Structure 1
């Protein structure tokens, strides 16, 4: 890495951490223009080293892209955003009784570890819920914060937690915003599809009832996977994430996170290909709630039903919008959680990035998934 590139990344990182996403984007775009024109980096002398600017900068900026959000407005009920908790023993299943298996899988030139939760007495042909964690998280942390082992296990589902590697992304973010990880048969979608097929075959899950959900970068990758592989994913849950096609490089990712995807992005024009449930806090300072709106707009519907969900004293209220097709089948739900930050709604303080005051996203997602069967 050249000194000029190192300095560029440090300056862009500092701007992003300070909240100046526009400034960071402008710096990166100026560097790209200079690179393509063969001129020096902004503020530096020219050099001859060739490098992939987008790829290098994207890796360096993953941490500030998904740093802990600002607290919700003072007028709203408040609860702490729980930082990552101490690591659990590798063989301990957070919460529920059952087996919490470890494994590793390779496909498409990539490899990932995973954890698989099998509740006691799991029946043959059971549904499988796949959970994609957010940046800096691990499967154990995500399981503890979402309590998905308890919730899904009680309904007779297995739960699969793929782990993003630090080799693929130093902050363990799924690379939803890189074009090489956005289509079937390549990159992370190919790895995840292969892992799901292998786990379904080995443990006898029902291949027609595989549901994928994720938080933040994991929610964005869940949307990508559902769009790329609708014959593998029966339904998708996106929590505080972005729609597939919202960005294909770093500057577009910064813009989408700050203000929502640009007009005309691919998912908005093609529509979601599987049923979708969306959770997004309207006080999310990390991924703007316009991304939740964009996901909702992509859900096919012939009619819409909206209701307010009250949660009692010092709990967050939510607006639940249900989308129905001409055959009266539910095609999606959109939960706008009022006053909620960038965190899993209704989550447990034993995991990171949880908002215990919100409606229980885990329970609502599992209910939505299984009602489709």
Structure 2
């Protein structure tokens, strides 16, 4: 490929703005053909171009087709391509319940799995909404994070909503789409509605309700923390991205690869409004007036992550506390032979608002996870245990 990834994407953006859809389709096909191995092209049912005389795609239809392929490519190019070949079932502690349910709301519906601890099935001490990554399932995610066992130990309930290929070609949460980055609409509204339903059912208040996710799930968890600070008191973001860092597939791929957007995404030091960042250039992402309820964040990011650039972790911190914020505590340690650096940031009340964990040499995988699930790194630190510790410390 003669042009760089970014240059080619910018070329495609210019063609989109000029409504030259046939040329745009060809540009995006070049991007995918240049970055994908033959096996990936086969998974997308694409064939390399044979010659310049090949018939051009139909205008109008071509762009939509290529963008759908690009949605799959978002996952496939990064190596998060292939779902598990076997059905992975998580461990269920003795007496615990792991239920299959469906939630329906005005914004849409989603299936989900619900873990109820044996110790407190009707009145648990808290609820965690767990959002899986691309190509994962609730069962796979539950097995890899071993969250059910930890939930049993701490008397917590865990909900695992499912994103399927009918909603995204790679089963990703659509964190990069503007209509899924606003309050009261799209996937955030569905997930918030589910959370409210469970809060009512289980008798829980905001201080005992949390959200966490990996990759696309981490990005959606951050969106929920921004948009619904009245529901969630804390969020765990593993290998995720800041809300507003992308507004379409092209800018999403750019920010994932380079830690910055090329098409009007969020930048460092975004303003805040009621607990969430605003991207001033895009009114769709502006929050309505909300109570000033700070949502505490614990962030995990591998320094060798080739799927989500490590700079995205700093973008999340900057959006929450500003680019000039200074950590109140910095420490470097190791566990299981894996080093990590932890930086704490205080909120207005002096209490810890953010914990940032940068894990040395870790890739795009749940730190301290179990081999039973996909995209896990068994080497510590244990992200699940530290998230629960962080969540419950304030709730206690």
Do they fold alike, i.e. is TM over 0.5?
yes
Question: Which residue does 2:167 correspond to in 1?
Answer: 168
| In 1, Cα distance between equivalents of 2:319 and 2:23 | 42
Report the TM-score, using the length of structure 1 for normalisation: 0.82
Partner of 2:117: 119
Question: Does 1:371 pair with 2:369?
Answer: no
Q: Could you say if the C-alpha distance between residues 359 and 38 of structure 1 is closer, same or farther in structure 2, counting changes exceeding 3 Å?
A: closer
Whether 1:293 and 2:353 are equivalent positions in the alignment is no
Paired with 1:20 and 1:352, the residues of 2 have a C-alpha distance of 31
Query: What displacement does 1:107 show?
Result: 2.0
| Deviating 4+ runs (over 6 angstroms) | 37-40, 43-48
1:189-338 alignment runs, 5 A limit: 189-262=188-261, 265=266, 268-271=269-272, 272=276, 273-300=294-321, 303-312=327-336, 315-338=337-360
After superposition, the Cα gap between the structure-2 partners of 1:52 and 1:111, relative to the gap in structure 1 and judged at 3 Å, is farther
The Cα RMSD (Å) is: 3.0
Query: How far does the alpha carbon of each residue in 1:199-238 deviate from its partner, in whole angstroms, 9 at most, with x for none?
Result: 2222333343210000000000101111011101111111
Residue 25 of structure 2 contacts residue 66 of structure 2 at CA under 8 Å; is this kept in 1?
no
Q: Name the CA distance, whole Å, in 2 between partners of 1:222 and 1:40.
A: 32
CA distance, structure 2, for counterparts of residue 258 and residue 40 of structure 1: 21
C-alpha distance in structure 1 between counterparts of 2:174 and 2:17, whole Å: 23
Q: What is residue 7 of structure 1 aligned with on the other side?
A: none
TM-score normalised to the size of structure 2? 0.78
- Residue 56 to residue 241, structure 1, CA distance change in 2 (3 Å): farther
Instruction: Report the Cα distance in structure 1 between the residues aligned to 2:24 and 2:355, rounded to whole angstroms.
Output: 49
C-alpha spacing 1:49/1:331, structure 2 compared with 1 (3 Å) = same
Deviations 1:222-275 (A, max 9, x none): 011110111011111110010111001111111110111348717841245411
8 Å contact from structure 1 (residues 246, 266) kept in 2: yes
Partner of 1:103: 101
- Report the Cα distance in structure 2 between the residues aligned to 1:57 and 1:200, rounded to whole angstroms: 41
**SS of alignment partner, residue 160 of structure 2:** strand
Q: How far off is 1:119 after superposition?
A: 1.0
Match of 2:13 among 16, 29, 36: 29
Higher relative contact order, structure no. (Cα contacts within 8 Å, ≥ 6 residues apart): 1
1:19-76 C-alpha deviation (Å, 9 max, x unpaired): 97436624642541452589785478888754594x65443223321238579xxxxx
| 1:324-363 to 2 correspondences below 5 Å | 324-363=346-385
Give the length in aligned residue pairs.
341
Task: Tell whether the 8 Å contact from 1:260 to 1:290 is kept in structure 2 after alignment.
Answer: yes
Residues 251 and 265 in structure 2, CA contact (< 8 A), matched pair in contact too: no
Report the counterpart of residue 87 of structure 1 in structure 2: 87
Counterpart of 1:327 in 2: which secondary structure? coil
Q: Specify every segment of 5 or more residues in structure 1 that has no aligned partner in the other structure, as ranges.
A: 1-14, 72-80
Give the structure 2 partner of residue 6 of structure 1.
Answer: none
The answer for unaligned runs of 5 or more in structure 2 is 27-51, 277-293
Q: How does 1:105-184 map to 2 (within 5 A)?
A: 105-122=103-120, 124=123, 126-184=125-183
> Do 2:16 and 2:24's aligned partners in 1 also have CA atoms closer than 8 Å?
no
1:61 aligns with 2:70: yes
Change (3 A) 1:210 1:51: farther
Q: Tell me: CA distance 1:221–1:61, structure 2 relative to 1, closer, same or farther (3 Å).
A: same
